[in-house]
């Protein structure tokens, strides 16, 4: 394995499992005898369920009285909230999705609250660092990284004699009829040795830099202008005028965000766009720019042709279809016909001239449908594999295509998702303070070009008196991008320049109590 990491995955076991009372599936397990005074650094992914702390890094104590479990995957905040409620009450609660007419779908939490520092279960990216002291009094460190996007529980269990690290798949999402082989399950990459959290973070940076596509690890981020400043209030005239302003300012990639499509799931342009997507691409290319296009690849609106003709392709969970972002349904990418449809649609868009694919919303569904081509007890795992296969096939067919992960703020984060994408968005809120927090948190681990391009978005006013889109501050965005290429790692709670850099960027304590990093 690269950079001194070893992949650990054991033969899966379900020590407490029955058909009536399913149990967790235990995977990897490591023991570090003599380790004490242990802490873990956790990168919290962005989510609308906890929007004020997207990509914040927290350092949390691990003691015999305070075990920690890091919850990764696409729905980590909602899952951790359920597990903390169960931990406090001694209950067993299934994972679910909210419902109701007023529910938009970007919020996944059904019970409990976003994890707080004193609680055991913490939402986390698919990697972390651990630091402590060994029996000889030496500072020791551990770096871990997961290589799949399933919901995985990483336990850190301290006792009087050392530290145990183990991974589990929760019964709520993984209860297959038969356990698969070890190589089909999430693996844990680990490296440990003498050092501290900063040492382990450097190990992770090396591993992640070797994982991202080579052009994302070396190329400077392009300057992008995005129509999202208008929300979905766009049409052919506005897009054309927007392209004119962007080209005048030297923008390299112009992205048409949500609002161009007739129906989510079918991926045809609205009738006002002459020539459809190919016509939009020609408008960008004729002005010397590449075309970026927003898609919600794993979603289908209730009135779309695909959902109407093939309701059996929709993901079903706990007896009903999921209502997710913008009140769309999820397509089950673990179901082969649905996966083939998504790949065919994306392939058509790229052949029509899309250079930069900005995919958003849910692409990994939870599904327990009995009539799908996957085991109903392992629908999420099948969806993970299905989404990887779509991305891999798209990359093979179109090697020059740039792919950005925008799933409501760049979910999930793990080695496979990093490997399949040229960049991942940092934060989904478009507010300067939260954007800076995200840039620092992700910047502790990923190269700048892999954490979102420099992006200029017009202010939310429809048009100026001459009928043009509100002016883009693209030159400021370009200066911001150039300055960020050499940013130091995240403000990490230690003494010296890193915390000073955070203060210089205005990242101290806030009125809501949030911090860049809060040792506890």
Measured CA to CA, the distance from residue 110 to residue 83 in angstroms comes to 12
In total, the chain counts a number of residues equal to 520
* Cα Rg, the chain, nearest whole Å: 23
Measured CA to CA, the distance from residue 248 to residue 263 in angstroms comes to 32
What is the maximum span of the chain, computed from C-alpha positions, in angstroms?
73
Measured CA to CA, the distance from residue 345 to residue 96 in angstroms comes to 29
Measured CA to CA, the distance from residue 477 to residue 454 in angstroms comes to 6
Total Cβ atoms within 10 A of residue 209: 19
DSSP state of 312: G
Identify which of 255, 236, 216 has the alpha carbon closest to the alpha carbon of residue 472: 255
Measured CA to CA, the distance from residue 3 to residue 252 in angstroms comes to 34
The upper half-sphere exposure of residue 30, i.e. CA atoms within 13 Å in the direction of its Cβ, equals: 20
Identify which of 467, 512, 520 has the alpha carbon closest to the alpha carbon of residue 51: 512
Instruction: For residue 391, give Cα distances in angstroms to 129, 264, 356, 397.
Output: 29, 19, 13, 10
Q: At what angle do helices 379-397 and 336-351 cross, to 10 degrees?
A: 30
Identify which of 195, 154, 135, 179 has the alpha carbon closest to the alpha carbon of residue 43: 154
Six-digit token string for 39: 């802490």
What does the DSSP assignment read for 399-421? TT-EEEE-TTTT---SHHHHHH-
Measured CA to CA, the distance from residue 485 to residue 41 in angstroms comes to 24
Total Cβ atoms within 10 A of residue 30: 17
Q: pLDDT tens across 208-267, in order?
A: 999 998 877 666 778 899 998 899 999 999 999 999 999 999 999 999 999 999 999 999
- The predicted pLDDT at position 454 comes to 45
Asked if 387 and 406 count as a contact pair (C-beta separation under 8 A), the reply is no
Residues of the chain falling short of pLDDT 70 = 1-2, 101-102, 217-219, 452-520
Is residue 142 classed as helix, strand or coil in its secondary structure?
Answer: strand
Is residue 152 classed as helix, strand or coil in its secondary structure?
Answer: coil
CA dihedral 488, 44, 171, 146 (to 10 degrees): -10
Cβ contacts of 467 within 8 Å, gap of 6 or more: 241
Locate the DSSP E strands across 218-262: 223-226, 253-256
Measured CA to CA, the distance from residue 70 to residue 41 in angstroms comes to 10
Six-digit token string for 374: 């996957």
- The predicted pLDDT at position 457 comes to 54
Six-digit token string for 489: 């790692």
Measured CA to CA, the distance from residue 8 to residue 26 in angstroms comes to 12
Identify which of 237, 168, 192, 206 has the alpha carbon closest to the alpha carbon of residue 447: 206
Do the bridges between strand 223-226 and strand 454-456 make them parallel or antiparallel, or are there none, so unpaired? parallel
Is residue 123 classed as helix, strand or coil in its secondary structure?
Answer: strand
Surface-to-core class of residue 506, CB atoms within 10 Å of its CB (0-12 exposed, 13-18 middle, 19+ buried):
exposed
- Of all helices (H) and strands (E), which one includes residue 104? none
């Amino acid at each position: 394995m690269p950079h001194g990491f070893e992949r650990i995955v054991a033969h899966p076991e379900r020590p407490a499992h029955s058909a009536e009372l399913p149990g967790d599936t235990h995977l990897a397990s490591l023991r570090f005898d003599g380790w004490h005074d242990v802490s873990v650094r956790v990168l919290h992914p962005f989510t609308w369920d906890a929007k004020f702390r997207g990509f914040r890094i927290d350092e949390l104590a691990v003691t015999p009285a305070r075990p920690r479990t890091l919850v990764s995957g696409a729905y980590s905040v909602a899952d951790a909230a359920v597990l903390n409620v169960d931990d406090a009450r001694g209950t067993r609660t299934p994972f679910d999705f909210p419902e109701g007419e007023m529910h938009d779908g970007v919020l996944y939490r059904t019970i409990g609250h976003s994890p707080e520092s004193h609680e055991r279960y913490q939402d986390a990216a698919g990697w972390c660092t651990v630091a402590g002291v060994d029996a000889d009094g030496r500072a020791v460190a551990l770096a871990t990284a997961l290589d799949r996007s399933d919901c995985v529980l990483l336990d850190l269990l301290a006792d009087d004699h050392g530290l145990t690290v183990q991974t589990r798949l929760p019964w709520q999402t993984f209860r297959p009829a038969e356990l698969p082989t070890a190589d089909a399950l999430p693996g844990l990459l680990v490296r440990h040795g003498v050092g501290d959290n900063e040492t382990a973070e450097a190990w992770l940076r090396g591993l992640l830099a070797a994982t991202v596509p080579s052009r994302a690890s070396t190329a400077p981020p392009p300057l992008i202008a995005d129509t999202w400043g208008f929300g979905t209030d766009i049409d052919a005239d506005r897009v054309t005028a927007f392209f004119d302003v962007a080209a005048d300012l030297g923008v390299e990639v112009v992205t048409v965000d949500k609002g161009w499509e007739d129906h989510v799931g079918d991926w045809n342009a609205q009738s006002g766009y002459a020539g459809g997507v190919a016509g939009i691409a020609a408008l960008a290319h004729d002005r010397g720019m590449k075309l970026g296009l927003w898609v919600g690849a794993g979603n289908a609106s209730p009135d779309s042709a695909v959902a109407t003709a093939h309701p059996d392709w929709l993901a079903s969970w706990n007896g009903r279809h999921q209502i997710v972002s913008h009140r769309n349904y999820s397509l089950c990418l673990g179901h082969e016909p649905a996966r083939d449809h998504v790949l065919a649609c994306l392939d058509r868009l790229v052949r029509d001239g899309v250079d930069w694919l900005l995919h958003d919303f849910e692409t990994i569904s939870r599904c327990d449908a009995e009539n799908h081509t996957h085991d109903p007890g392992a629908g999420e795992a099948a969806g993970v594999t299905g989404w990887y296969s779509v991305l891999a096939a798209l990359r093979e067919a179109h090697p020059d295509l740039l792919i950005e992960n925008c799933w409501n703020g760049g979910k999930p984060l793990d080695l496979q998702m990093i490997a399949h994408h040229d960049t991942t968005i940092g934060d989904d809120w478009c507010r300067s303070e939260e954007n800076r927090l995200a840039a620092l948190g992700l910047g502790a681990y990923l190269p700048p070009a892999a954490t979102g391009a420099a992006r200029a978005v017009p202010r939310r006013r429809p048009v100026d008196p001459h009928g043009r889109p509100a002016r883009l501050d693209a030159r400021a965005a370009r200066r911001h991008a150039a300055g960020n290429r050499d940013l130091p790692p995240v403000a990490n709670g230690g003494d010296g320049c890193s915390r000073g850099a955070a203060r210089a960027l205005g990242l101290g304590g806030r009125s809501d109590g949030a911090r860049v990093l809060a040792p506890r």
